[in-house]
Amino acid sequence: MKQLIITEKPSVAMNICAALGIEDNGNHKGYIENNERIVSWCFGHLIELAEPSSYGEQYKKWSVEALPIFPDHWNYVIKEESAEQYEVLKNLMNRDDVDEIVEATDAGREGEAIFRLVYMNTGCDKPFRRLWISSMEADAVRNGFDNLDPGSDYDDLFASAKCRMEADWLVGINGTRLFSTLYDKTLKVGRVQTPSLSMIVNRESEIRNFKKEFYYTVHLSKDTIDAISKPVKGKGEADSLSQKCNGKAAKVKSIKKEEKTMAPPLLYDLTSLQRDANRIFGYTAKQTLDYTQSLYEKRLLTYPRTDSRYLTDDMEETAKNVLYLARKKFLSLGEGEEKDDYSRILNSKKVSDHHAIIPTIEIASPDLKSVPGTEMNILTLVAVRLACAVSAPHRYVSMKAVLSCEGEEFSLGGKIITEKGWKEIDDRFRKSFETGEEEKESIYPDLKEGQVIEGMKAKIVEGTTKPPKHYSEDTLLAAMEKAGSGDMTDDVERKGLGTPATRADIIEKLVHDGFLKREKKQILPTEDGIKLISVMPDQLKSAKLTSEWENELARIAKGESDADSFMAGIRGMVSVLISENKEVSDDQRATFGSGDREVLGKCPRCGSDVIKGKYGAYCRKKCGMKLGKAMGTDLTDGQIKTLLKGDQILVKDIKSKKGKTYDAFLTPKGISDFSYTDKDGQERTGFQFDYIMTFPEKKEENRLWKK
């Protein structure tokens, strides 16, 4: 009999095989097998919650009347791109010679969901045990297999994961259908996406409403001395102070020196790497994720989708070996120092699913020259961070002096670096990549307490208050990471809005859907984005919803709260959301401009107006009727109007599959419905004309054609 091990990703399966000495004894597709064990894998989530249409015909059409959608039982679908691997797992789990299964998906809530959904949907009832490790070091893997937990120990964790999936579905599906139908525009609602957009819109509002204010400071100067007064709002007050002190003597009232230490930075998790790559190289969060993923697949970086900035306690030797290679192979990181301290980057308690991102031992490969420049920038950045993280602290002396002149106080400050520490490496990196000037010491005059300086010159400097800055991808990621965190307990698995792996996609979706735009490094809301937030209720715009969910999900995972009660609360929230927002005025319905669009005719399916859109015509009531092309050829507004009247049109230059061009008359002979999945995975109902196609050149060759 054999043990079947199921991992979350193929790469983890390979690591487990290497650690346990499992070599394939045949040519197997989708798994590895020897005489004692079988190792197979998922590709992340193989199974997802089904679309509303799976619960009944009434949900194929988007309408307020059909809401709320509350499934009595949950349907699941196998993701099309993962169907083949799902069948591999299903066959393996039901093989007669498999008597035990090891759940080796990632140690966390989503990892638990990935395995359990496969286990449930295959109908498997064989016993399984849980591998719970945070490090893929060989010793950690072997120790984990020596101490497998009963699968039932993690039933509460799965309950928490299932609640998260179902709650997001209920809010997203019902909210999106409600507001899209009301406002005649696809308005996607999400627990993470909506408050993320709200933060950007609020910042834009602060900037637009900002009123600049002037302030003034008086500078007393002589030689290298430049002491500054406290700012004042009135120009007259500044003039009086300047005249009062100009040409007078100033006395050094006090000098304060303070030794300060700046600890080395932590290692990179995905979010901090995305932030630095945006700030230094201008990469978007999605680009950084793509480059890092590619390096991971080349086995040059560790797993990128992590929210930890530490390594596990057993990885010190690995970190030393990797940094030795990085210093020797291709980076100007200097020689290893005795002051290197690896203890500050090792903490198993702060590693959940995956440890921090570091280079791998594979950087010794001679093929680094073939790595694209964009990826080399990321690889270098990660290597530099590892070198900085174990280096000595940066130390300096902060100095502040207060001067008194005619009873008024002026201050000046500076600092003297006593030990560059990790900043020496960081400065060298930034200089080599032309990403910033090397840090310099402040010029600080040689002053003594009680010293009198004669003949000070006074001048007024005008300043203005500055509005908040627009978000960049760097600062937006930081805001998403912190949003609502103050309201979350220490036990929650995910803090902030989204996860390191999903934040980039959230930004990209908002840009793709026309609610955000990029201008150089700035992330700005579009007018549609501003309008979207203006029509959303406060509950959906606030990160507090995520805080409340995560706190409760943490309690469910620990067995301290009831999953059914949580879901009952979600259903109640969705019911109230719909009842309080199900009606809008005609003026409100036209918020996104559809009220001013040209009407091309009446919808033959529901009788509502068919209006002109960006990519063709569609029904104002969102019944599913769309019309923009025929046989792949774009239709004019006039042709669409004619078809909607039921009359024949002539379509020229239609291209066949073989590339030939021909003309044809199209005469509408009725309508039919069809189902399709849109680009965002939403199940939709579409509408199509059924035509009689007549060829002008060969009138005898008539045939029925469906769009």
Residue with tokens 């990209």: 508
CA–CA distance, 462 with 313 (Å, rounded to integer): 55
Q: Is 342 buried (19+), middle (13-18) or exposed (0-12) by CB count in 10 A?
A: middle
CA dihedral 90, 94, 100, 101 (to 10 degrees): 10
| 349-358 core/surface letters (b: 16 or more CB in 10 A; e: else) | eebbbbbbbb
| 98-136 core/surface letters (b: 16 or more CB in 10 A; e: else) | beebbbbbbbbbbbbbbbbbbbebbebeeebbbbbbbbb
- Maximum Cα interatomic distance, the chain, rounded to a whole number of Å: 110
Two structure tokens written together for 201: 């819109």
CA–CA distance, 220 with 215 (Å, rounded to integer): 17
| Helix, strand, coil share (%) of the chain residues, nearest 5 | 40, 25, 35
* H or E element, residue 452: strand 452-453
Neighbours of 508 (CB within 10 A): 16
| 414-425 core/surface letters (b: 16 or more CB in 10 A; e: else) | ebebeebbbbbb
Active-site amino acid positions: 303
- Residue 188's identity, in one-letter code, is K
- Nearest Cα residue to 351 out of 296, 309, 305, 303: 309
Two structure tokens written together for 659: 């590339």
Can you list the alpha helix ranges (DSSP code H) found in 99-192?
109-121, 138-146, 155-183
Two structure tokens written together for 655: 């291209």
HSE on the CB side for 432, CA within 13 Å? Answer: 13
CA–CA distance, 704 with 694 (Å, rounded to integer): 9
Whether omega for the bond prior to residue 52 falls within 30 degrees of 0, making it cis, is: no
DSSP state of 300: S
Two structure tokens written together for 355: 């440890």
Query: Under 8 Å CB-to-CB from 659, ≥6 apart: which residues?
Result: none
- Nearest Cα residue to 441 out of 389, 393, 395, 385: 395
Rg (CA), the chain: 32
- Nearest Cα residue to 705 out of 661, 659, 656, 658: 656
Q: What angle do CA 234, 240, 241 make, to 5 degrees?
A: 95
3-state secondary structure of 89: helix
Two structure tokens written together for 567: 């879901």
Using CA atoms, how far residue 141 sits from 63, 96, 190, 551, 629, in Å, is 52, 27, 37, 31, 56
- Nearest Cα residue to 179 out of 535, 596, 655: 535
Question: Taking the alpha carbons of 662, 663, 666, 672 in that order, is the dihedral positive or negative?
Answer: positive
- Nearest Cα residue to 175 out of 77, 69, 49: 69
CA–CA distance, 10 with 300 (Å, rounded to integer): 16
Using CA atoms, how far residue 603 sits from 487, 517, 586, 645, 705, in Å, is 49, 34, 19, 10, 20
